[in-house]
Structure 1
Amino acid sequence: MSRGGTPGVPGVPGIDPERLRACLERARPGLVRGPLSAELIQGGRSNLTYAVTDGTGRWAVRRPPLGHVLATAHDMAREHRVIGALHGTAVPVPEPLLLCEDEDVIGAPFYVMEFVEGTPYRSAAELAAIGPDRTRKVVLQLADILADLHAVDPAAVGLADFGRPEGFLERQLRRWEKQLESSRSRELPGIEELRAGLAEALPDSPAPTVVHGDYRLDNVLVGADDTVRAVLDWEMSTLGDPLTDLGLLVMYSEQRNVPGSPLATTREAPGHPETGELIERYAALSGRDVSALPWYTAFAYFKLAVILEGIHYRYTLGRTVGPGFGGIGALVPLFVGNGLTILTKG
């Protein structure tokens, strides 16, 4: 599950290899054959992922961020459940091996899954290195896998109660409105217009499906044969409107590099498909009406604007750590403007 990991060092924060080994020996006798070492896999934005090995086998461990967190936002049992349900379907996910909710083991609930070898592409330069033909193959698979995910019958895989799809879009919009109000510290021209426009034009949702919630290129691992080996980061998954996933994919896929942006941007790589082709491919494979997609894409821009404004707000309070946060505030109006343009053009 290679995500740009750095070499392991003794005492990696957030995981205790000895306690983890003891837990695995109790729950999965014979799986581990010696002392474990661990390294933090860089690249995740919320929950933490570690690669652990006994020198022969290799596994991935997923746990919440360090420090105080909201359990509902970092629910290890929920992530473990959805990948367990999807493992064996057409959706490529790692095989889950163990869920441990005993916080005494490593300080937080966690789960263990198979380690999937692969590369997450986060920049146009990384894709450019593999050439236009391979880039096209990699990116088009995003539409294929999304159609496969949305074709899974939740009840057939034990996920009938995985969410509350009734009123899903209304709740999503209220959630992000509330998030905006909790982090607003300045005037943001256009954001109220965008919010109100989204509320007034709320579409009728198609039949609910399992949704990923943060579906984009840098949340998948691509193998050496350019095949997507695993879809990662299921922490926002639920039952809901499948077109929210497609709207997010379109929004992320059309981003061009903006100096200071924290987003992974791959659109400028030679061979990268146009978003229109991704939409058409998904529509053909899924059989869904995507005529309302501008609303979903505009909603994706609204969500991202709110997320970035929250980061900017924490930066102004001195609560961010590390470089690169100073320019995020200037990006928010760009995403608000993009959302308004898409919503008004329809």
Structure 2
Amino acid sequence: MTSSPPGLDLDALRKHLDDALPGLVAGPLDAAVIAGGRSNLTYTVTDGATTWVVRRPPLGHVLATAHDMGREHRVMAALRGTAVPVPAMVHLCSDPDVLGAPFYVMEHVDGAVLRDPESLRALGPERVRNLAFRLMDTLAALHAVDPAGVGLSDFGRPDGFNARQVSRWRRQLDGSRSRELPGIDALHERLAATAPELSAASIVHGDFRLDNTVIDTGRGDRVAAVLDWEMSTLGDPLADLGLYVVYLGTPMPAARGSHDPVTTVPGHPATGELISFYAEKSGRDVGGLGWYTAMSAFKLAVILEGVHYRYTQGKTVGAGFDTIGARVQPLVDRGLAALPREKG
């Protein structure tokens, strides 16, 4: 009998799926944790004939609204059939009694998740360059989707989005504080004092980056799926672009081997070139991107500090969490550097 990975009782899952979707599962289930995730837990589950992916919140220390399975399921179901590639949704279970938390099941999309510079280098410079622009194409396509047209007009509150983001991530930080982080309070104060009005309203992914996509390396390196929608909402599209800029300049959260930024990989376009490409594709004014970059550095610092906190409490599953804490302070410093210099 196959043992269940942490957080996923295979017997309970099989019984629930047999009741909810009779005939879906053809045999005994086997499962494995998908490495690389630092927030919600993700598993591959197979009955020997079909493979699915199951997502559930992390074990313990779950901050309110941060791990809403229903929102992830809803946004991907809504985007299915648009220019944004997403997996097909199979089932949503809101009953926490089945696995100890709500969860959903989706199709498994074939392809590669490129989590580190070495994986990119293996593609060669030309493919790396083309892939970087395809990712920007995908982000612009997401921001072009009409929320009302896909049934997501009530998916968030765009008005006041940027100011609320500052407040929200400060609250998340306060819920995960376990050590001193020099400069993080000053960064928060400056962000709060200079939050811009909404540049435009769109569906925002909230964590758009290379390793939250599946790349079909066997079919022209197309973006086969965008994953990890746990922080998606309606808001300012420049929030996604700002976060992507931060990711370009820092080690990927799941990096192995070399810890160089992805922009150092031969063939990868310069950050400014990608920003200009996005601006042209989307028609958006990106002149005030510095604030969004600083906000994104603050947000990512808070997220990783929360992961570090769970690691210190023994509430993480998988390897690689011991290095997360060291990545927080550089993000705080980068956020401060991205903001315009204070006068005086």
- Calculate the TM-score normalised by the size of structure 1: 0.86
Corresponding residue for residue 300 of structure 1: 296
State the match for 1:5 in structure 2. none
The answer for the alignment partner of 2:115 in structure 1 is 122
1:246 aligns with 2:241: yes
Write the mapping of 1:114-153 to structure 2, written as runs, cut at 5 A: 114-153=107-146
**Aligned counterpart, 1:105:** 98
Distance 1:9 1:181, change over 3 A: same
Task: Tell me the CA shift for residue 166 of structure 1.
Answer: 1.5
Alpha carbons of structure 1 residues 252 and 262: separation in structure 2 relative to 1, 3 Å:
farther
Matched, 1:230 2:239: no
Q: After TM superposition, give the deviation of residue 201 of structure 1 in Å.
A: 2.5
Bigger shift: 170-179 or 243-252? 170-179
For residues 25 and 106 of structure 2, the distance between their equivalents in structure 1, rounded to whole angstroms, comes to: 13
Give 1:36 deviation, angstroms: 2.1
Deviation (angstroms), 1:311:
5.3
Shift of 1:243: 0.6
Aligned to 2:75: 82
Counterparts in 2 of 1:333 and 1:98: CA distance versus 1, 3 Å? closer
* Aligned equivalent of 1:164, options 149, 157, 169: 157
Alignment partner of 1:198 is 2:191:
yes
**TM-aligned CA deviation for residue 256 of structure 1:** 5.2
Q: Which amino acid aligns with 1:245?
A: D
Range moving further from structure 2, 22-31 or 234-243: 22-31
Taking structure 1 as reference, are residues 185 and 135 closer, same or farther at Cα in structure 2, changes over 3 Å only?
same
3-state SS, counterpart of residue 105 of structure 1: helix
Partner of 1:3: none
Please tell me the residue identity of whatever aligns with 2:224. Answer: R
Q: How far does the alpha carbon of each residue in 1:45-73 deviate from its partner, in whole angstroms, 9 at most, with x for none?
A: 11111111221111111112234634522
Q: Quick one: structure 1 residues 291 and 66, their matched pair in 2 at CA, closer, same or farther if it must change by over 3 Å? A: same
The answer to whether the Cα contact below 8 Å between 2:245 and 2:293 also exists between their aligned partners in 1 is yes
1:14-67 CA-to-partner distances (Å, cap 9, x unmatched) read: 223343333333333333222222222121111111111221111111112234
Instruction: Give the partner amino acid of 1:244.
Output: A
Aligned to 1:288: 284
Contact 2:118–2:258 under 8 Å retained in 1: no
Q: What runs of 5+ residues in structure 2 fail to find an aligned partner?
A: none
1:37 aligns to what?
30
Q: In terms of mean alpha carbon deviation, does 28-37 or 282-291 score higher?
A: 28-37
Deviation at 1:175, TM superposition (A): 1.8
Within 5 Å, which residues of 2 pair with 1:57-76?
57-67=50-60, 69-70=62-63, 72-76=65-69
Aligned to 1:4: none
Taking the aligned partners of 2:52 and 2:177, their CA distance within structure 1 comes to 41
Q: Which amino acid aligns with 1:85?
A: A
**1:338 counterpart residue number:** 334
User: 1:163: how far off?
Assistant: 1.1
TM-score, length basis structure 2: 0.87
Aligned length: 338
Q: Secondary structure at the match of 1:194?
A: helix
1:247 to partner: Cα distance: 0.2
Q: Percent identity?
A: 58
Distance 1:146 1:22, change over 3 A: same
